[in-house]
């Protein structure tokens, strides 16, 4: 079977498309014939080795997969079931979705929601499911559409694109921060009411700024997240999930102690199953399938490596689905 395999020998880090045999698959109580996987920012880091995402070698990357159960000794899954997997360290410490088959712990799986095809589920992928978790976080913090504009940073990326589409469908007024002014029409077609240049947020700013946003979803971290926090209205909230600008957070306590701003961290990887199921259920109602098609491009497995290089350069728009059998 075909698989992307990452090796690290004598500090030489290499990713290649190769053939492996099924007995090289790891332990697990469910074997899945994979239909689709995806390229998230994390595959960019894993495949290029830009950040130590992979902690066991050799490793097949791919934190997402959708497919059909081929063998199972897990009580909840039987042969022929359609399933989705996001995270749980798959593609980092356990071989992942960028292969024709995967062997997994059945506890990590969720049933493919009726609303989506295997390809659509991967068009959503970890990025889209994380966007949903971010929206749920803002709602939990009381950010409702009547409170004012909601900002989405890294908006032309995967998490950002899906976040815009969900927020707009729920009636929020969405402002999209992007470094790609050329994507204005795309972002507006997803539901953004206006865009701002990401340079407005990316440099060191003041501890407190003009109160501008009722809430925000931040995918880039660093000065951007600090500036976003400084511009949140009294009692508002930021759902923070990413680090595309950097993992630092050069902020002060001022937005939190003077304006009661809430910084809500979002993790998708080890998110408990109940919340995952809720997020997938919400995606079925809060995300239009027409928008899924708009944000998605498809590549064969042979293009996974060059696409991973592109995503780190900010050259990928929306979501990339990988047909692992093409
Ligand atoms: P993408 O690469 O698709 O999107 C990231 C976007 O961030 C880019 O499209 C770009 O948007 C913007 N960006 C890139 N570089 C910079 C920079 N130097 N400064 C400011 N903005 C920048 O990635 P994903 O959407 O897949 O993931 C986004 C982030 O969220 C990543 O850091 C990822 O690791 C993280 N993530 C975290 C999860 C979690 O569980 N916490 C789950 C999923 C993702 P534009 O061109 O519009 O400016």
Atom of ligand 1 nearest to the CA of 127: 43
Cβ(220) – ligand 1 distance below 6 Å? yes
Q: Is residue 301 within 6 Å of ligand 1 at its C-beta?
A: no
Distance CA 263, CA 56 (A): 32
Regarding the beta carbon of 219 and ligand 1, being less than 6 Å apart is answered: yes
- Condensed to tens digits (0 to 9), the pLDDT of residues 135-170 reads 999 999 999 999 999 999 999 999 999 999 999 999
pLDDT (0 to 100) of residue 10:
85
- Atom of ligand 1 at shortest distance to CA of 42? 34
User: Which residues neighbour 209 within 8 Å (Cβ) at sequence distance 6 or greater?
Assistant: 227, 230, 231
Determine the distance separating the centroid of ligand 1 and the alpha carbon of 309, expressed in angstroms.
Answer: 14
Domains of the chain, first to last: 2-112+295-323 (3.90.180.10), 126-265 (3.40.50.720)
**Which contiguous run of DSSP H or E holds residue 153?**
none
3-state secondary structure of 11: coil
**Does residue 11 surpass a pLDDT of 90?**
no
Beta-carbon count within 10 A of 236 CB: 26
DSSP code at position 112: P
Question: Which atom, in ligand 1's list, is nearest to the CA of 44?
Answer: 2
State the distance from the centre of ligand 1 to the C-alpha of 23, rounded, in angstroms. 35
Name, in order, each residue with C-beta under 8 angstroms of 137's C-beta and a sequence gap of 6 or more. 237, 239, 264, 266
Does residue 318 have its Cβ closer than 6 Å to ligand 1?
A: no
Q: Which atom of ligand 1 is nearest to the CA of 271?
A: 40
List of residues 6+ apart from 106 with CB closer than 8 A: 28, 29, 30, 72, 74, 75, 76, 77
Contact 33, 68 (CB under 8 A): yes
- Find out whether the beta carbon of 84 lies less than 6 Å from any atom of ligand 1: no
What would the pLDDT profile of 256-267 be if each residue is shown by its tens digit? 999 999 999 999
The three-state secondary structure class of 171 is coil
Q: What is the pLDDT of residues 202-254, one digit of tens each?
A: 999 999 999 999 999 999 999 999 999 999 999 999 999 999 999 999 999 99
Q: Is 199 helix (H, G, I), strand (E, B) or coil?
A: helix
The stretch 313-319 carries a mean pLDDT of 95
Alpha-carbon distances of 199 from 123, 177, 181, 227, 321, rounded to whole Å: 28, 9, 11, 11, 29
pLDDT in tens, 67-101: 999 999 999 999 999 999 999 999 999 999 999 99
| Mean pLDDT confidence for 31-49 | 97
* Nearest alpha-carbon partner for 247 in 275, 222, 282, 215: 222
Query: How far does the centroid of ligand 1 lie from the alpha carbon of residue 170, in Å?
Result: 23
Write down the pLDDT at residue 143.
98
Distance (Å, whole) CA 174 – CA 166: 10
pLDDT at 321: 98
Average pLDDT along the chain: 97
pLDDT at 300 over 90: yes
């Amino acid at each position: 079977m075909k698989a992307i395999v990452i090796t690290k020998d004598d500090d030489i880090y290499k990713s290649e498309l190769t053939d492996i045999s099924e007995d090289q698959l790891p332990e697990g109580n469910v074997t899945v014939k994979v239909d689709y996987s995806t390229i998230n920012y994390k595959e960019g880091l894993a495949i290029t080795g830009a950040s130590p995402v992979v902690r066991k070698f050799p490793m097949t990357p791919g934190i997402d997969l959708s497919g059909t159960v081929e063998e199972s000794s897990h009580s909840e899954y039987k042969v022929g079931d359609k399933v989705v997997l996001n995270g749980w360290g798959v593609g980092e410490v356990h071989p992942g979705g960028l292969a024709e088959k995967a062997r997994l712990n059945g506890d990590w799986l969720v049933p493919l929601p009726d609303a989506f095809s295997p390809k659509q589920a991967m068009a959503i992928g970890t990025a889209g499911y994380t966007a949903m978790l971010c929206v749920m976080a803002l709602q939990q913090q009381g950010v409702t559409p009547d409170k004012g504009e909601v900002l989405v940073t890294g908006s032309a990326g995967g998490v950002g694109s899906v976040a815009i589409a969900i927020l707009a469908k729920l009636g929020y007024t969405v402002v999209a921060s992007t470094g790609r002014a050329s994507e204005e029409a795309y972002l507006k077609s997803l539901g953004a009411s206006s865009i701002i240049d990401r340079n407005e947020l990316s440099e060191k700013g003041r501890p407190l700024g003009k109160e501008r946003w009722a809430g925000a979803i931040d995918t880039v971290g660093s000065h951007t997240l600090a500036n976003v926090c400084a511009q949140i209205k009294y009692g508002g909230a930021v759902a923070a999930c990413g680090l595309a600008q950097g993992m630092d957070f050069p902020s002060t306590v001022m937005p939190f102690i003077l304006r009661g701003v809430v910084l809500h961290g979002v993790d998708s990887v080890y998110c408990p199953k109940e919340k995952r199921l809720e997020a997938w259920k919400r995606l079925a109602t809060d995300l239009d399938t027409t928008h899924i098609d708009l944000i998605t491009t498809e590549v064969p497995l042979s293009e996974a490596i060059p696409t991973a290089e592109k995503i780190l350069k900010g050259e990928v728009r929306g979501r990339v689905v990988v047909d692992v059998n093409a």
